[in-house]
Amino acid sequence: MLIFIQRLKKSFGDNKVLKGIDLEIEKGQVVVLIGPSGSGKTTFLRCLNVLEVPDEGKIAIGGQTMDFSKKVHPKAIAEFRRLTGMVFQGYNLFPHMTSLGNVMEGPVTVKKESREEAAAKAEYFLAKVGLGDKLEAYPFQLSGGQQQRVGIARALAMEPNVMLFDEPTSALDPELVGDVLKVMKDLAEEGMTMIVVTHEMRFAREVADKVIFMDGGVIVESGAPDKLFTKPEKERTKQFLSMIQ
Amino acid sequence: MYLNSITIDPDRIARLADIAGSSLQPLLKGAIFYTIPLAMITFACGLILAVITALARLSAKKIWRMAARFYVSAIRGTPLLVQLFILFYGLPTIGVVIDPWPSAIIGFSLNIGAYGSEIIRAAILSIPKGQWEAGYSIGLTYRQALVRIVLPQAARVSLPPLSNTFISLVKDTSLASLILVTEMFRKAQEIATTNYEFLLLYSEAALIYWVICFFLSILQSRLENRLDQYVSR
């Protein structure tokens, strides 16, 4: 078991966003989270990266456990974050750095790798996402799809145990979505463990090992994509799927 | 009004030209050895103070926020000239004697620190939250995200208002003449008291301030262009 999540809870003020999430993910699995807006799927993903600190519950990734019932130290959070790579809806590239600079930042500053080593690694990952010819480009010189692929390379460069994608294609023009999904599909085929929040149902059908339907801060139903999409058990799931298809 | 005194004879013009010429060198010396270094040193010290104060204002710890607020309020709420007088003429009465030059550096630095902190605080707040999060997500600590990601971007945002502050500072250094720093304006005063050509000497000093500030504005736009290289406009 690579990832083990137990009774994860998170509130913002009176608003209970996550009401106790339990989930186990095997190494190499691709898990797609779907659900209506406000269902808590993005918050859940952000909790795994500890960008939101959960109020209660445990997260274990690759043998390292964070218990949020106790007070957690910022240093421990920073360490724990290195186990996960995050890809944001709005890319969030560093505008003052080139593609290469963006991808090198983690290895150089966090892992203390030498600049040569980090640059070689960054070049490798940028080539992998199809941007080997954009090493010196600044974010503003790139299309949304290219920026998002730099974002993926930046996360990969930290060599995380699991990649988290928070609606990675939602901000993109339709014709640019394909390139990003292709990169994600390739990653999945190479055996990367991935948790993806997305509205791309075709991607979920084709790539996911497991689809999870969340609503109201709980996991309503989960299963293999062909089962969940064709024969959902819960009424709420049926409703949601009929609305989006 | 004694308008008849305006009539100017050729001899007077020759005398004025002579004084203007001979006073130029001491005034420029005052500018180069006192006014400009004073402005640069205090701006550098003030900027460090400003960043620290801005971070204190944004701190999660209430005590830091309170201390920073108090400092900014005290400095912004009292006249610069009064602060300089307290430092130089006031403190000796309780046995703390500070020379003119260090008094000026302390006084002006405290001022830049207070005003600059508000500029830097606003600039830091203007950087989208996603930038911090992207930094954290690759494992950066607060300090690393601040230094590597946020401050470089905040620097670009704060450049125009900070340039404004620096240009004001260059002119405000003339107040140091009142605590006996022999900067350019004090030189002008000293020369004027020997020949009574106040209009000429004060105008000459004003012109030199103007020229300095003119070059500073050029420097500012160059710097802005350089920092603009990664921003599409």
Q: What one-character-per-residue DSSP string does B65-109 give? A: HHHHHHHHHHHHTS-HHHHHHIIIIIGGGGT----HHHHHHHHHH
Percent helix, strand and coil across chain A, each to the nearest 5: 40, 25, 35
- Which residues of B fall within a CB distance of 8 Å from A106? 138-140
Task: Estimate to the nearest angstrom the gap between the alpha carbon of B30 and the chain centroid.
Answer: 17
CB A67 within 8 A of CB A58: yes
Nearest-angstrom CA–CA distance, A165 and A179: 15
Are A18 and A35 in contact, with CB atoms under 8 Å apart?
Answer: no
Show residues of chain A in contact with B232, CB under 8 Å. Answer: 140-141
User: What is the pLDDT at residue B227?
Assistant: 79
Cα separation of B97 and B91, whole Å?
6
- Torsion, Cα A195 A200 A202 A206, to 10 degrees, reads -10
Q: Residues 159 to 218 of B: which have CB under 8 A from any A CB?
A: none
- Asked if A21 and A8 count as a contact pair (C-beta separation under 8 A), the reply is yes
In order of A8, A129, B174, the CA distances from A193 in angstroms are: 20, 17, 66
Q: Which residues contact B46 (CB under 8 A, 6 or more apart)?
A: B108, B109, B110, B111, B112, B113, B116, B169
Tokens of B85: 């007088």
Instruction: Please say if the pLDDT value at position B185 is more than 70.
Output: yes
Q: Provide the pLDDT confidence category of residue B4 given band limits of 50, 70 and 90.
A: low
Mean pLDDT, rounded, for B199-212: 93
Q: pTM for this structure?
A: 0.86
- In this prediction, residue B2 carries a pLDDT of 61
Q: Is the pLDDT of residue B138 over 90?
A: yes
Flag whether pLDDT at B206 surpasses 60: yes
A140 with B232: Cβ contact below 8 A: yes
The torsion angles phi and psi of A167, rounded to 5 degrees, stand at 40, 60
CB atoms near residue A198 (< 10 Å)? 22
- Whether B138 sits inside 8 A of A110 (CB atoms) is yes
B139: distance to nearest CA of chain A, Å? 5
The tens-digit pLDDT sequence of chain A (245 residues) is: 789 999 999 999 989 999 999 999 999 999 999 999 889 999 999 999 999 999 999 999 988 999 998 888 888 898 899 899 999 999 999 999 999 999 999 999 999 999 999 999 999 999 999 999 999 999 999 999 999 999 999 999 999 999 999 999 998 888 889 999 999 999 999 999 999 999 888 899 989 999 999 999 999 999 999 999 989 999 999 999 988 76
d(CA A40, CA A5): 15
CA distance linking residue B78 with residue A215, whole number of Å? 57
- Give residue A120's identity as a one-letter amino acid code: A
Residues in chain B: 233
Chain A residues whose beta carbon lies within 8 Å of the beta carbon of residue B135: 94
Q: What are phi and psi of A50, to 5 degrees?
A: 55, 30
Predicted confidence band of residue B233 (pLDDT cuts 50, 70, 90):
very low
| Average pLDDT of span B134-138 | 95
**Which pLDDT does position B7 carry in this prediction?**
66
Tell me the helices (H) and strands (E) count for chain B, helix number first: 10, 0
Residue type, B145: A
Note the pLDDT of residue A58: 94
User: H helices of A51-95, where?
Assistant: 74-81
Q: What is the mean pLDDT of residues B73-80?
A: 96
Decide if B134 and A82 are in contact by the 8 Å CB cutoff.
no
